Amino acid sequence: MNYFRTAILLAGLTALFMGVGFLIGGQSGALIALVVAAAMNLFSYWNSDRMVLSMHGAQEVDQSTAPELVGMVYELANRAELPMPRVFIMDNPQPNAFATGRNPQNAAVAVTTGLMQQMNREELAGVIAHELAHIKNHDTLIMTITATIAGAISMLAQFGMFFGNRGNNNSGGMGIVGTLAMVILAPIAAMLVQMAISRTREYAADNLGARIAGRPEWLASALARLEAGAHAIPNDNAERNPATAHMFIVNPLSGERMDNLFSTHPATENRIAALQQLAHDMNQGGFGGYEAQPAPRAVAHGTPQHGPWGGGGRRRSGPWG
């Protein structure tokens, strides 16, 4: 059902994009809009991961520079039957994470130093499993296309201020009122569709991520801690690049708590409730797919490593911050 809803929303976003092009230039405008969208999506397909990682100052790490983190990603990727993604760390005190890449073979997982410092091993595993679920579901590509089309709609709507009132044989012109309505309403409509797609994919990633990790309560606990951290600690890079906010596991921009049309993410309490229900289903024998698993050890390609967590489970200090 989530995939069907996403497909419908993407179709609506594309139709809105074509409609704005038609209002500006009639059939020719719609055709030009289609060509522009195709070019933008092609560019985003090949370059979006590098652009987003660069925006947030992410630095790639490997088993020699961050063996505990890379080992955990490796083990969870094996559980998810995914290729090993590249691993990045962002020097940012806000606990958060995102995944990017056009497909599982060209994927990356990025986590903040704040996440590494504030999560215990089980919570960190839940977060990484969530991001791997986005990769497995091809959400990273979906969200890139969504953001690109939404941005193009806003751009075309601005063009309407200059060309929308001229009219032609195909559209007959919109007039001043129609032009202003398009400039204001089209970007809002695009934003609403973009956010609806984002929220749909977050619920799906929570569910699959819990299945990959084998313990829904790990991710539920992490979400509660992430929500508190996002409220208390600003993310300057995200504030400068708000179009990427929907990619993070929790909203890095504000303390928005309402699960409404203007939220980039579902309400955290709703996500936690869904994970608690999944945990209940697992205990009742109604859980399919991945079996419950112990927390991944700090390993790097099968080689045990001494992790940075103490006996109480809480991380004592971070080697990256």
The number of folded domains in the chain is 1
Report the predicted TM-score, pTM, of the whole model to 2 decimal places: 0.74
Average pLDDT, the chain: 77
In a domain, 129, yes or no: yes
131 labelled catalytic:
yes
Higher local confidence (pLDDT), 45 or 276: 276
The residues, ordered by sequence, that sit 6+ positions from 19 with a Cβ below 8 Å of its Cβ are 30
Percent pLDDT > 90 in the chain is 40
* Res 312: pLDDT: 35
Angstrom CA distances, 109 to 40, 70, 161, 195, stand at: 24, 10, 40, 22
Catalytic residue chosen out of the listed positions 131, 202, 217, 227: 131
Which range (69-78, 125-134, 210-219, 231-240) has the least confidence? 231-240
Nearest CA-CA partner of 17 in 112, 141, 147 = 147
Long-range contacts of 297-305 (CB under 8 A, 24+ apart): 297/71, 297/75, 298/67, 298/68, 298/71, 298/72, 298/121, 299/71, 299/72, 299/74, 299/75, 300/63, 300/67, 300/68, 300/70, 300/71, 300/74, 301/63, 301/71, 301/74, 303/71, 305/67, 305/68, 305/71
The mean pLDDT value for 279-296 works out to 66
Residue of 121 and 166 predicted with greater confidence: 121
Tell me which residue range forms the domain holding 195. 2-285
pLDDT, tens digit, 9 for 90 and up, residues 6-27: 566 666 667 777 777 777 667 7
In a domain, 262, yes or no: yes
Q: 168 pLDDT exceeds 60?
A: no
HSE toward the beta carbon, residue 41, CA cutoff 13 A: 14
Domain assignment present for residue 253? The answer is yes
Instruction: Measure the CA–CA gap between 290 and 252, rounded to whole angstroms.
Output: 30
How large is the average pLDDT for residues 245-263? 68
- Is residue 291 one of the residues assigned to a domain? no
Q: Say whether pLDDT at 315 is over 50.
A: no
